[in-house]
Amino acid sequence: MQLRGARVDVRAGEPDALEVEWSLAADRLSWSVANRSDGPVAVAAVAVVARLDAAVEPLRVLRHGYQSWSPTAVATFRVDQDPTHHPGVRSLPTGMHHADWTPAEDGELRSELVTALRDDTGAVLVAGFLGGWEHDGTFRVRGHRDGSDGIELWIEAFLGGAVLQAGERRELHEVALTYGDGDPSPLLEAWAGALGQAGHARTTAPYQVGWCSWYHYFHGVTEVDLRSNLALAEEWPFDVFQLDDGFQSAIGDWLSTNDDFPTPIDGLASAIAAAGRTPGIWIAPFLAGADSEVAIAHPGWLATHLASGAPLVGMVNEGWGGAVNTLDTTNPDVLDHLESVARTLVEAGYPYLKLDFTYAPSLYGRYADPGRTPAQRVRAGFEAIRRGAGDDAFLLGCGAPLGTAVGMVDGMRIGADVAPWWHPPPDQYRPPGHTGGEPATVNAWRNTLSRSFMHRQLWLNDPDCLMLRTEHTKLEPEQMRAWALAVGVSGGMALVSDDLALLGPGARTLLDEVIALGRESDAGTHPPRCADLLESDPPTRLATAAMELVGDPAAGLAHVQGLLA
Ligand code: 9PG
């Protein structure tokens, strides 16, 4: 497989006003875009269209998802479709899973930030952007426009309509190209290492063991629940004790609690610290409900819909009473506010912050500074939070466009939410065309295996929580165990999310097993590798030097073989 530069494609208000300088070497694309006109130009995307010569089909393509929850797995060119190529697709629920939420072309496959291609001879190409904070990067595999049966690889810098002023030139993130044979894992690791180096990735936090309130109590959590689990935690090896969604007085008002939490946030942190645990707390920093004090006091802080001028919806969530809006992270006052919220939370006693729904400012809309790309808007929010939280805080990204957060977060959710079921039940909401991003343990399994190469190259992978209970769950005991083993072998963060009162000695033994597997994997010289990454969706295998997880994700069964089994 060889890549030859062919041409440039620009999507912009005035494409002829733009000059793209590019050089495509064997191992790297370097490029920039400039506005050569005497007026502003809005730029949607700039692409170098390369020919993929001598690829023997069928061509396998790793479709890497845009944000934490977006499914990442193999697809076959000319067989599979992009999920947006589906009737009934609506913008928000599917748009949150791509940089560019306009539907893909018929037959095109796309991958965000990085991709791995393997042809029928076993030849492998891994292509990955070496940055994700100035703009997003998307790979599109397409047939030739001329109707010949060749293949094009579009390497696209997505600027999302950012306005370039007259004469303005922007460097675009370089793209690394590497070639191999068979298993793409070493190349993916090397790319992640190079991106991590370019972005000063935070990869040295200790292995994390903890408790999280979400996957048993969900929105209904109360202070009584928090304190009763804290009282039972003495027997458990948790460091962090993290309160999730449900404590806040409103989405956007993170410093005040609701009626189910009579104690203010600093008092809750003191209670956790007094029990010898590190207090952690969840926020969705870039969202604000219409009923929040922040939105009422500062209506001008919200991003807006381009057409209607109404506040820009960032999420629709039944547990929050419906739609909530998006803060404008190009407004300096908003950034000051975010910095202050983070500082206040750390000062209140929370050195661990889970930052959720952070894709929101990437959404298409009107923002105070039209010159910022979607990636820059998200990045600015992360930077403000890091400024406020300080260098020592552990920040966990969630719902995050992955490339925007390198160097900002210590941990990153790399898959969909687990749930107390393996496959999504038939009545669970699934965005049309988009399966694999909705809460279900099989969806967490998929990305835990397929994104394993990021662990300790870009951050600590957070595969999502363990659920060890055998009541109040639709997970079969074997499924609960299969997921726990995957978390262990991944080497990623190990957080329990049960009412501890439901757990007996068996759960404790399993957690100890997970931690032993996890510490062994986490100490390896390279991240665990997924042998069937380009063969199976979901993948079934994940190996370190010492052990291998072998699973049947259709059934939710797994075992570990090797030294520690
Ligand atoms: C709290 C939860 C937990 C969880 C997060 C996130 O696509 N969705 O509709 C969707 C909703 C919620 C969600 C993920 C996806 O969960 O991942 O750990 O913190 O928020 O509300």
Q: Which residues line ligand 1 (CB under 6 A)?
A: 69, 214, 244-245, 282, 356, 398, 417
Test site for ligand 1: of 417, 435, 467, 496, most ligand atoms within 8 A of the Cβ: 417
Instruction: Take atom 2 of ligand 1 and give the residue whose Cα is closest.
Output: 245
Token pair, residue 23, equals 């050089």
pLDDT of residue 29: 97
Q: Give the residue, by CA position, lying nearest to ligand 1 atom 4.
A: 417
The answer on pLDDT for 147 being more than 90 is no
Q: Average pLDDT, stretch 518-547?
A: 97
Shortest-distance Cα residue to atom 11 of ligand 1:
317
Distance (angstroms) between ligand 1 centre and the Cα of 36 equals 44
Other CB atoms within 10 Å distance of the CB of residue 55: 23
Joined together, the tokens standing for residue 69 give 């929850």
- Percentage of the chain exceeding pLDDT 70: 99
Work out which ligand 1 atom sits closest to the CA atom of 438. 7
Mean pLDDT of 514-543: 98
Relative to the CA of 315, which ligand 1 atom is closest? 9
Cα of 436 from ligand 1 centre, angstroms: 14
0.85 surpassed by pTM? yes
**Partner residues linked to 109 by β-bridges:** 141
pLDDT digits (tens, 9 = 90+) for 45-68: 999 999 998 899 999 999 999 999
Contact between 468 and 498 under an 8 Å Cβ cutoff? The reply is yes
> Is pLDDT at 191 greater than 90 in this prediction?
yes
User: Ligand 1: distance of its center to the CA of 417 in Å?
Assistant: 6
Q: Which among 154, 78, 158 has a CA at the least distance from the CA of 115? A: 154
What HEC string does 495-530 produce?
EECCCHHHCCHHHHHHHHHHHHHHHHHHCCCCCCEC
For the CA of 465, the nearest atom of ligand 1: 18
> Residue 139: pLDDT above 70?
yes
**Which whole-number Å values give the CA distances from 438 to 97, 104, 135, 454, 556, in the listed order?**
11, 21, 26, 22, 17
Over range 469-484, report the average pLDDT: 97
Looking at the DSSP bridge assignments, the partners of residue 136 are 158
d(CA 374, CA 361): 7
> Pocket of ligand 1, candidates 356, 434, 448: which has the most ligand atoms within 8 Å of its Cβ, to mutate?
356
pLDDT, position 563: 65
Is the bond into 311 cis (omega within 30 degrees of 0)?
A: no
230 CA from centroid of ligand 1 (Å): 23
Residue 457 near residue 196 (C-beta atoms within 8 A): yes
In one letter, which amino acid is 221? V
* Tokens linked to 555: 């059934």
Q: Contact 426/440 with Cβ under 8 angstroms?
A: no
User: Residue 564: is its pLDDT beyond 70?
Assistant: no
Q: What DSSP string runs through 117-142? A: EE-TT-EEEEEEES--SSSEEEEEEE
* Closest to 446 measured CA to CA, from 183, 124, 63, 60: 63
35's tokens:
């506005």
